[in-house]
With several copies, the nearest count.
Chain A
Amino acid sequence: MVRVLLFGKLRDVAGWREKTCTPDPATLSALKALICADDPALSRALAAPGVQAAVDRVLARDDSPLNEGSEVAFMPAMSGG
C-alpha cells in the first residue's frame, strides 16, 4: 500500500486529494501510470513543467523506487511568499 497526495491545482484536476494504491507499484512512474489510467487530464497535468514528486518527503524522480507504506506527493509549480 502506498499513500498518494495531490497538491494545488493537481487536486482540482483530479477531483481527489488523497488516495491509497494497492498492490504497491514498484516505482514512481508505475504509480503515475496507475493513478492516470482513467484520467487523461491528470496525466497531462502531471506532465506539465514544474511538477515535482516527493517520496517520503524527499524529492524523487520517475525511476525512484517505492516501498510498502511510502507517502508519495505530486506537487505542481510552487509559489509562496
Chain B
Amino acid sequence: MIRLTDQSFDPGGELNDFCRGRSQAGAVASFLGIARRDGGEGLELEAYPGFTESEIARIAESASERFSLQDVSIIHRVGRITPGEPIVLVLTASAHRREAFEACDYLMDYLKSRAPFWKKEHGPDGEHWIEPTARDLGDVARWD
C-alpha cells in the first residue's frame, strides 16, 4: 500500500494494521522518519501527484521481488510538517529478518534521493530547498 497524505498519521496504528493476521511472515521491519527540531519551524514537502505514487509503486515492486517480500507499505507526508511529526513510514514483511531489514533500508535510500519529492526547510535563517547529501547518494548507489 502506497499512501501520500497531507495529514499527520499514527505510526503505531499503521504498524498494527500491517501486522494483523500476518502469521505467515515471521519478520516485520519498519522505518519511521520524524521531522527534527533542528530543522527550525518545520518542513514543506512537495510531490507530483500521480507521478510520485506511481514511481514509489514501481520501486516497491522491485523491492518485493528483490527481497522476497510478502508485503510492503509506504506512507509519506506531503505539505507542511511541524517538528516531531512523522514524515515517512516504511513497513516490510518477509519470512526472514535479513530480507525485511534490507528491503526497508533499500526503500528508504530510494525515497531519500530518487523519489519525486522536493523538500523545503523553514529554518531560522529563512527557507531553503534540501537536496540529497553525498551520503544519501552513496547509500542509494549501493543497490545499483
Contacts and interface: CB of A to CB of B under 8 A. Distances in A.
A binds B: yes
Interface of A: 5, 7-9, 12, 50, 54, 57, 73, 75-81
Contacts of A80: 45, 76, 88, 111-112, 115-117, 119
Given A8-B46, A57-B54, A80-B111, A75 B116 contact: yes
Contacts of B112: 79-81
Nearest to A58: B51
A79 B118 contact: yes
Interface residues of B, number: 27
Nearest to A12: B129
Interface string B21-41: 000000000000100000000
A76 B120 CA distance: 12
B118 A76 contact: yes
**Which of B76, B115, B130, B131 is the most central at the interface, judged by chain A CB atoms within 10 Å of its CB?**
B131
A9 B46 CA distance: 11
Given A78-B113, A78-B117, A81-B108, A7 B131 contact: no
A76 B118 CA distance: 8
Contacts of B143: none
Contacts of A50: 131-132
A8 B129 contact: yes
B85 interface: no
Nearest to B127: A12
A54 B116 CA distance: 11
A45 to B, nearest CB: 11
Contacts of A76: 118, 129, 131
Interface in B86-144: 87-88, 97, 108, 111-120, 129-132, 136
